[in-house]
Amino acid sequence: MKPKLRIFDDLENISKHAANIFSKQAARSIVERGQFLVALNGGGTPTRLFQLLAADFHDKVEWAKVHVFWGDERCVPPDDSGSSYGQARELLLSHVSVPESNIHRIKGELPPVEAAKEYALLLKEFASPPPDWLRFDLIYLGMGEDGHTASLFPGSPVHVMEAVLPVTAHYQDRPANRVTLTQLVFNSAHMVIFMAAGEKKASTLAEVLSDRYNPELYPAQRIDPKDGDLIWLVDKDAAGKLPKKITRKYCEG
């Protein structure tokens, strides 16, 4: 599926757009399927999105029908500052009326292998097989400066059979043990939104969106929903090294 690229002035505008997509996609999914299955990401990029959803959309989304999951998690307890679940709870989930039973976190306090197994079982509960995992209505992803996404890091296997994997990866000062969904799950989603901001990501973004396909080195290239939308929301700094032919090819309007 050809990605769509939207370039914004800054992260604030990316986040506003991403929040509007959340609201629209939630409404559509609830009408069509009776619920909205969304996977959140961690890291710095989505924090403003979470705040905006809490402030401006707490009464505009049918939160009782929203089920929240994560694309990956760091293996730390939920109240640790490194926990992606903890971050989303603080900034978003504690401010909206999503039922506690609809919050499906990855148990970061467990050893990674165990946490991955439990999460895979949870995904199966929401799946109507085949396949063995649920089809998300919306997934948010970020991209590291090295091209990783979720916890799919450069050099990790490209051909996987599992929906969920335990991972050990050293990236910046973040916890090394993690659990991640794989591209099998990401690529079966109805919609995947990537958000990337800042000039430190510009060279990598230019590689990821180029015609040079190297998914081993740039895991973000593994994301290619078979029957869904793939939308990149980036700021002008992150887009700074994109050749014109790429922006012409992927930018809408």
Q: Which residues of the chain form contacts with ligand 6PG (CB under 6 A)?
A: 41-45, 72, 84, 142-144, 148-151, 174
CB 41 within 8 A of CB 84: yes
We find the least distance from the C-beta atom of residue 115 to ligand 6PG, in angstroms, to be: 14
In angstroms, the CA 203 to CA 197 distance is 12
Cβ-based nearer residue to ligand 6PG, 67 or 148: 148
CB count, 10 Å around CB of 70? 26
Please, which residue, 151 or 188, has the CB nearer to ligand 6PG? Answer: 151
Task: Give the number of other Cβ atoms within 10 Å of residue 204's Cβ.
Answer: 21
State the minimum distance, in angstroms, from the CB of residue 131 to ligand 6PG: 22
User: C-beta of 148: minimal distance to ligand 6PG in Å?
Assistant: 6
Beta bridge partners of 178: 74, 167
Q: CB of 109: closest distance to ligand 6PG in angstroms? A: 16
Output the six-digit token pair for 80: 């640790």
Smaller CB distance to ligand 6PG: residue 66 or 75? 75
- Cβ(98)–Cβ(107) below 8 Å: no
**Which is closer to ligand 6PG, CB of 77 or CB of 99?**
77
Q: If you search the block for the tokens 């370039």, which residue do you land on?
A: 7
